[in-house]
Structure 1
Amino acid sequence: AACARAGLRGEPLAAVRLISAKTGFGVEGLVSALQRSWRAAGDVYLLGAANAGKSALFNALLRSDYCKSRAPDVVHCATVSPWPGTTLGLLKFPIINPTCDRIFRRQERLRAEAEKTEEQLSDEEHKYLNRLKKEGYLVGEIGRTFQRSKPTPIIDFDPDLLSYSVDEDPGHSPRKPVEKEEFSYNEVKDARWCFDTPGIMRENCLLNLLTDKEVKLVLPMRAIVPRTFILKPEMVLFLAALARIDYLEGEKSAWFTVMASNLLPVHVTTLSQADAVYEKYAGKELMKVPMGGEERMKEFPRLVPQDITLEGIGATEAVADIKLSSAGKSAVSHCRWVAVTAHAQQKLLLRAHMPEGAALALRQPPLLPHIPNIRGARIPGTAAYRTKKPPSLVENLKASGNR
């Protein structure tokens, strides 16, 4: 049903896989699945909305067993940027032919790596793994089975090039041009290609309203830590000055778990004071985004309300996500939503506000229904709970004995 709503009708989907091109999680499994579908004739195209992560996936596949061994030396990596539209042309690399021998050697490598523990990794691998753990909860390593051994460069001392007369400037001595590597005819003859395509630009996206500095705060660069708040009726939650959720009616308190960049502040106030708080602090340091004071807020679109009615299913399970992004784009790519949790059969009347020109959508069932349980104790005297960061799950590594 979700695929049909996204416009994916007609031929059935071959597979749906959970991956992270940024941390490498699931990429090795994706490569294996793609190689098993080699019999499907034709090239491979990475399609999707702008900023969905196509270029990051292209770069991940470029350093995997999916491409020919010389491809990383010949093909330039795709540009990965928070701004949509940076991929202007069709980047491509040739796909390696997964012969029986290559598949066998690849499986041997994967089995050997799966027997390793974190303690057996080198210092450099440890440092890289720890960096990935800061960027996401699901981590995996992308390896290479087929690598071309580069010849050792021979230093050619040419006395005529190294010498210069008193009339010459040594800073402008002639240098040999760097030879650009190219594929040979046999390497690309009858090859199948993997293409990175320009993203589909969508309207009603919040990023279209933000400046460069604001985008860097809105897009999460590190693993998101869930932030949960308990609100009584007639209380309001602000996510920076970009979104506002009013809890208008309900019998009991409800929980609101914010899944957004940890650089965006969350403020809770009463319904009677909400308008004054927004007018006083929007555009200033307290609310972070937008930034630029009164002049910035004069040109920033006003917040437009939308009423939402929900019925709770239990205090430990979210009933819905309020997606603070484009209605037509996955909220996973931009990671801005608020999960709403309420007692069973409790009816809630909410009013969500978003800037005019940025659509808001309701997702039922929620993406992470048990996300409100990832929290610490409530902070006394506030509506907030202490945050709790779950441990990262590392793929392709054997669990240590002390775990």
Structure 2
Amino acid sequence: GLVSRLQCSWRCTGDVYLLGATNSGKSTLFNALLRSDYCKSRAPNIVDRATVSHWPGTTLNLLKFPIINPTCDRIFRRQERLREEATKTEDQLSSEEKKYLNHLKKQGYFVGRVGRTFQQPKSSPVVDFDPDMLSYSIGEDPRHSPKKHEEREEFTYNEVKDARWCFDTPGIVKENCVLNLLTEKEVKLVLPTQAIVPRTFILKPGMVLFLAALGRVDYLEGEKPAWFSVVASNLLPVHISILSKADAIYEKHAGQELLKVPMGGEERMKEFPPLVPQDITLKGIGTTEAVADIKLSSAGWVAVTAHMEEKLLLRAYTPKGTTLVVREPPLLPYISTIRGARIAGTAAYRTKKPPSLVENLKTTERR
């Protein structure tokens, strides 16, 4: 959808830059566009992929690829391919596609792929490695002499003389970001490496939600229970408590296994900034639609869903020096509707598994 909109509205009238904070997904998007019909067909064999890493600031070079000119013929051929892809059943997929599809389905993704319409024919198979070189490093075996490095494929002058380019830029490092306070080991837990599974909890007034020891949301006043959907790394624990015990829980378990991050016990917490509060007032718009997101710096966010016209007084906490943002409207307004059955004896719900694209297409065909 993004590629189609770019081709229809922006076409190739100017360069495109992917801008944003570190770890916001620019490099992942760049790599997807590189392998799509937004990129000249020969470019993926020439352009290096952007580095995708959990550690902020890994995109150090200004990578770019040339944007294809979306002529009427190319747009028509692309739409034909998309229609053909949409009618594919799972049985018609290659083994590699099936493996990738199953991997994504297990993580709860709504599955689809971008793909390319204008493939360049491969002239001959390329040998990726020499088996004989696996037993020795160069220099250890005198029978092996260093091989000449293969010449890198390059664009011709005519291919790029009038080209427009899509650039992947180094991320903007935010001064008020919680990641700046964390160790490398802690960053690996905070930044998701797999699809996030939203976790929804029902809280009554006087209850508290902890997101590790990096954020906290207190439900201070309201007439009815409300739903709080956590969108954060699956490795970060969510702990529910009552208001009267919340401070004691933080004092006892911050830096310990229960709250997980930060880690390192009392010594680590001595250098970690204290949590500071911010009061938030919201008014519910219905039990199926979130009214706002409470974004706890870069640790994640909590979408709040409440009864129509229900007034809520909340108090949210983040580490001193980091930014807490109330996002209205929320990014995923209907996130609470994917909650499944209530987990007995807890405030938590199970999460429904979203259907895959292939399963949806089969249902459509049967109808």
TM-score of Structure 1 vs Structure 2, range by shorter chain: 0.7 to 0.9
1:91 is matched with which residue?
Answer: 63
Offset at 1:104? Answer: 3.4
1:217 is matched with which residue?
Answer: 189
**Is 1:265 aligned with 2:237?**
yes
Residue 279 of structure 2 is aligned with which of 307, 318, 322? 307
Output the TM-score relative to the length of structure 2.
0.87
**Is 1:358 aligned with 2:348?**
no
Tell me, yes or no, if the aligned pair for 1:138 and 1:394 is still in contact at 8 Å.
no
Q: Distance in 2 between matches of 1:343 and 1:145?
A: 47
Helix, strand or coil at the partner of 2:230:
strand
Q: Distance in 1 between matches of 2:261 and 2:105?
A: 27
Offset at 1:220? Answer: 2.2
Offset at 1:41? Answer: 2.8
Residue 65 of structure 1 is aligned with which of 37, 41, 63? 37
Which runs of structure 2 are paired with 1:240-279 in the superposition (5 Å)? Answer: 240-279=212-251
2:22 is matched with which residue?
Answer: 50
Q: Which sits farther off after the overlay, 215-224 or 283-292?
A: 215-224
Call closer, same or farther: CA 1:113–1:229 in 2, change over 3 Å. closer
Structure 1 unaligned regions, length at least 5: 1-28, 156-167, 327-333
Residue 347 of structure 2 is aligned with which of 370, 380, 383? 383
Call closer, same or farther: CA 1:205–1:134 in 2, change over 3 Å. farther
Offset at 1:395? Answer: 10
> What is the CA RMSD across the aligned residues, in angstroms?
2.7
- For 2:234, the aligned partner's letter is N
Call closer, same or farther: CA 1:174–1:315 in 2, change over 3 Å. closer
- For 2:345, the aligned partner's letter is G
2:262 is matched with which residue?
Answer: 290
1:25 is matched with which residue?
Answer: none
Call closer, same or farther: CA 1:111–1:208 in 2, change over 3 Å. same
Call closer, same or farther: CA 1:40–1:324 in 2, change over 3 Å. same
Q: Distance in 1 between matches of 2:357 and 2:86?
A: 14
Offset at 1:277? Answer: 0.9
Equivalenced residue count is: 355
After TM superposition, the runs of 4+ consecutive aligned structure 1 residues lying more than 6 A away are none
Helix, strand or coil at the partner of 1:139:
coil
Residue 127 of structure 1 is aligned with which of 94, 99, 112? 99
Tell me, yes or no, if the aligned pair for 1:139 and 1:392 is still in contact at 8 Å.
yes
Which runs of structure 2 are paired with 1:96-245 in the superposition (5 Å)? Answer: 96-135=68-107, 137-152=109-124, 169-245=141-217
Call closer, same or farther: CA 1:223–1:275 in 2, change over 3 Å. same
Helix, strand or coil at the partner of 1:149:
coil
Helix, strand or coil at the partner of 2:351:
coil
Call closer, same or farther: CA 1:89–1:115 in 2, change over 3 Å. same
Q: Distance in 2 between matches of 1:140 and 1:287?
A: 35
Tell me, yes or no, if the aligned pair for 1:138 and 1:395 is still in contact at 8 Å.
no
Tell me, yes or no, if the aligned pair for 2:257 and 2:263 is still in contact at 8 Å.
yes
1:162 is matched with which residue?
Answer: none
Call closer, same or farther: CA 1:250–1:190 in 2, change over 3 Å. closer
Call closer, same or farther: CA 1:349–1:122 in 2, change over 3 Å. same
Q: Which sits farther off after the overlay, 100-109 or 392-401?
A: 392-401
Q: Distance in 1 between matches of 2:67 and 2:330?
A: 37
- For 1:67, the aligned partner's letter is C
Call closer, same or farther: CA 1:370–1:69 in 2, change over 3 Å. closer
Tell me, yes or no, if the aligned pair for 1:114 and 1:398 is still in contact at 8 Å.
no
1:330 is matched with which residue?
Answer: none
Residue 372 of structure 1 is aligned with which of 312, 325, 336? 336
Q: Distance in 2 between matches of 1:66 and 1:367?
A: 26
Call closer, same or farther: CA 1:295–1:47 in 2, change over 3 Å. same
